Amino acid sequence: MNVSFRIARRYLWSRKSQRLIHLVSGISVVVVAAVAAAMIAILSAFNGIENLVEELFSSLDTELAILPTEGRVVPAAWIDSLEAHPGVAHAGGVLEQDVVVRRQGEPRVCTLIGFDLAHGTHTGLDQRLIRGASLRADTLGVDCGYVGLGIASQLRLPYGGDAPAQLTVAAPKRGRSLGSMQGRSLLDGGAERMMVTGSLPVCGTFSINADIDTRTIVSSLSFAQQVLQRPDQVSRIELVTAEGWDVTRLRETLDTELPPELTTRTRREKNALIHATSRAEKWATFAILSFILVVAAFNILAALTMLLLDKRRDVATLTAIGMTGREVRQVFSWQGVLINALGAAAGIAIGVALVLLQDRFGLVRLEGAMVPAYPVALHAGDVLGVAFVVLGVGGTFSAAMVAYLVRRMVPDAG
């Protein structure tokens, strides 16, 4: 074993050292451990939020979609062509556009999403229903719809009961948009003549997140195509990968086979702004916590200074028996590294334990939220990153400070 390391280890635990030195060293270890534990906990919390966002948006989307390169719609005939692809287990058409919804009162502008129920079972919408046992195609021979919880509240839809509430769904006639009707009341006869309407029974209510719940209604694809006057057209085609295929491989294959007017996009790309914001917040917080390690480095500086003062005679002895100045500096550099290593190990252990306890028992609860407890997810890369930063920052500061202190306080060892 390296002689400098053995001496540093004895200094760390030596009972002959002053108690104050042990106290300052202990405080340094605690500070490093607290920062490391905070890093693990906060990074895991951001991972949990990102996973929750991914799960929530998967309620209406699959992992890969085909969209038009230009324009708003894709010919629905592509659905059958894509279903024949060996890498596609399911292809479902989705038609999406803003519409006006009314039920015995003031109309509201919502986003209508139409897809067939086979597609609905491949998303997570079934698990997000809070009224209605499962998605169904129709009731009494009429297309069935599902509304977000926020819209259900705004329109005062009955929560229970077997008889579905009826919604009137209206969309501007082709060539017009809701923006072109600005300044015209949606209740007057002129606006009504500019729109195509349909009656949609509501068979259930879903809850995904506050934004989607207050602006989204879901219907069958045929109903959406009728009201939006888009026969044989869809806004996008959602794909489910076949067994033995992954999204990356399927996308690369389709990119070489599809015509230029069609493009592929993943779920993460469709929600790129949300994921980019979450990731930026995560690493900004990580950087801020890394700077706090500088505070711990000053605590280590105090501990090393006091140790050098206490061990001046030992340094003279070590120099006299033939240790070089470099080897003397290594003794105290190892001392700083050991303080950082102890703090990092203790902090990472505490942080990992807290994350696992939160994941298992939900120690931090969220009252009235869509999830009962704060979501967390532990990633091995984050743990290794924290260990690298703590040891790297601490080790660098320790080495620099020790070199300076030894030259100033023990010139003979320089």
Q: What is the pLDDT of residue 411?
A: 56
Q: What is the pLDDT of residue 351?
A: 94
Is 97 in a helix, a strand, or coil?
Answer: strand
Among the ranges given (30-34, 170-174, 292-296), the one the predictor scored with the smallest mean pLDDT: 292-296
Q: What is the pLDDT of residue 409?
A: 61
Among the ranges given (48-57, 160-169, 254-263, 357-366), the one the predictor scored with the smallest mean pLDDT: 160-169
Among the ranges given (53-67, 134-148, 253-267), the one the predictor scored with the smallest mean pLDDT: 134-148
Model pLDDT for residues 376-387, shown as the tens digit of each residue: 999 999 999 888
**Cα–Cα distance for residue pair 256/81, rounded to 1 Å:** 15
Domain limits, the chain? 3-57+275-413, 71-260
Model pLDDT for residues 242-285, shown as the tens digit of each residue: 999 999 999 999 999 999 999 999 888 877 777 777 788 888 88
| Mean pLDDT rounded to a whole number for the chain | 81
DSSP for 234-281 reads: ESEEEEEEPTT--HHHHHHHHHHHS-TTEEEEEHHHHTHHHHHHHHHH
**Cα–Cα distance for residue pair 318/140, rounded to 1 Å:** 95
Q: What is the pLDDT of residue 256?
A: 93
Q: What is the pLDDT of residue 181?
A: 52
Burial status of residue 288 (CB atoms within 10 A of its CB: 0-12, 13-18, 19 or more)? exposed
Q: Would you say the pTM of this structure is higher than 0.75?
A: no
Q: What is the pLDDT of residue 159?
A: 67
**Cα–Cα distance for residue pair 373/74, rounded to 1 Å:** 41
Mean pLDDT of 181-201: 66
277 vs 66, residue with greater confidence: 66
Among the ranges given (138-152, 208-222, 310-324, 370-384), the one the predictor scored with the smallest mean pLDDT: 310-324
C-alpha angle 390-394-396 in degrees, rounded to nearest 5: 120
Q: What is the pLDDT of residue 191?
A: 57
Instruction: Look at the alpha carbons of 307, 311, 315, 321 in this order and tell me if their dihedral is positive or negative.
Output: negative
Residue 131 confidence class, pLDDT cut points 50, 70, 90:
confident
